[in-house]
Structure 1
Amino acid sequence: MTNALRFIRKLAFANMLANDRLHEAVSALKPGEFEAPRTGFFPSLVATLNHILIIDWFYIDALEGGDLGPRAWQNAVPYSDAAELRAAQLASDRRLLTLCRKLGDEDLGRPTRVHRTGRIQVERTDDVLSHLFQHQTHHRGQAHAMLSGTSVKPPQLDEFIVADDAASRVDVMERLGLTEADVMDLDR
């Protein structure tokens, strides 16, 4: 396995762990805070977190060879309930992790067909994955900032890559039933 493939697998794990920790914080919000208007690219936590999920569906489907395309965002807020949204995000994150774990080095440069409105965008698989992880990070950061205006302290979201951070991620690892070997031994 190349370093590039290991890096992509590590990002898929970090993505799942960060999403779960963010959703854990959201689960502690007081009634009305999830839907309350906030300053950000999207006008609320519910809209921002649903956007993350919808765009995951869009890109993961393309990476799997599907043609979901813009149908992914026909409903801008498919989950208004925080617990249901969390479960859907975790399912999407597990789907992405499974996809990344199945990739071989030779797959990273293969073309991925992204179905857009009226056209097919063709990109390298590793570039689509990089874009997807960047998209997630971008909008998680916005949701993190939105939490600053709620009753819940924004959680730490960047303790998921290096081995030295193991003690800082015990909570989310236990919730997801993962071990340090799962996240660090990516050759399997």
Structure 2
Amino acid sequence: MTEPRHIILLAQYNAWMNTKVLDAAARLPAKALTADRGAFFRSILGTMNHLMVADLLWLRRFRTHPAGYATLDPVMDLPVPTRLDEALYSDLASLAADRQVMDATIGRWAASVRACDLNQVLTYTSSAGRTCARRFGDLIVHFFNHQTHHRGQATTLLIQAGQDVGVTDLVALIPDEAP
């Protein structure tokens, strides 16, 4: 399933959905964004913070791939998380600004991934401090799947708060190839 064109498509989907989620969140008062809604990361803002934390951790790891991926350099200027539940951003505006940088960076990185990079093993240290060595293509699948999982949670929290993000299906971005 993982090939360079899929990575590009998933990066496009990621940016599209993050924009939709952020737009829906921006229609809510700040208090509604930080209200404990019983979710794993408590609030809408907490869930969106976790997405940024995880993306930062994974992209910093991806930067160590033998291919180098200089396209990931802008990520190195963003905050360095220390915990998976860390609140890097206390307000939506600052999170949204860095999310735009992150998504543009992910898009450039996705376009730079080559098929020959995918079978290489990436060695990294997990957030639990364990040394891991996994196939890079599989880690990319996890990276995008993790985003979709938690963005789904954020979408549910937004709907519960009265904000519908609209269409969320990946198929909306897949070109129709009718004859």
Interval of TM-score (by shorter of Structure 1 and Structure 2): 0.7 to 0.9
Maintained 8 Å contact 1:22/1:157:
no
Aligned to 1:100: 110
Q: Structure 2: 5+ residue runs without aligned partners?
A: 66-75
- The alignment partner of 1:46 has SS state of helix
User: Could you tell me which residue of structure 2 aligns to residue 172 of structure 1?
Assistant: none
- Kindly indicate whether residue 47 of structure 2 is the aligned counterpart of residue 53 of structure 1: no
In the alignment, is residue 161 of structure 1 matched against residue 170 of structure 2? no
Q: What is residue 8 of structure 1 aligned with on the other side? A: 7
Tell me the equivalent position of 1:34. 33
Q: Distance in 2 between matches of 1:23 and 1:84?
A: 11
Look up the match of 1:170. none
Q: By how many angstroms is 1:3 displaced?
A: 7.4
Given candidates 81, 89, 105, the residue that maps to 1:72 is 81
Q: What is the number of residues matched between the two proteins? A: 160
Match in the other structure for 2:91: 81
Whether the 8 Å contact between 1:113 and 1:120 is mirrored in structure 2 is yes
Aligned sequence identity (%): 28
**1:112 and 1:122 in contact (8 A); partners too:** yes
CA deviation profile, 1:99-136 (whole Å, cap 9, x unmatched): 11111110111122222243321111111110011100
Extract structure 1 runs of 4+ deviating beyond 3 A. none
Q: Counterparts in 2 of 1:135-154, with a 5 A limit?
A: 135-154=146-165
With over 3 angstroms needed to count, the CA separation of the structure-2 counterparts of 1:58 and 1:31, relative to structure 1, is: closer
Root-mean-square deviation (CA), in Å? 2.2
Question: Secondary structure of the equivalent of 1:155?
Answer: coil
TM-score, structure 1 length as denominator? 0.77
What is the aligned counterpart of 2:132 among 110, 121, 136?
Answer: 121
| Structure 1 unaligned blocks of 5 or more | 165-188
Q: What is the identity, as a one-letter code, of the residue corresponding to 1:78?
A: L
Q: CA deviation at 1:72?
A: 2.4
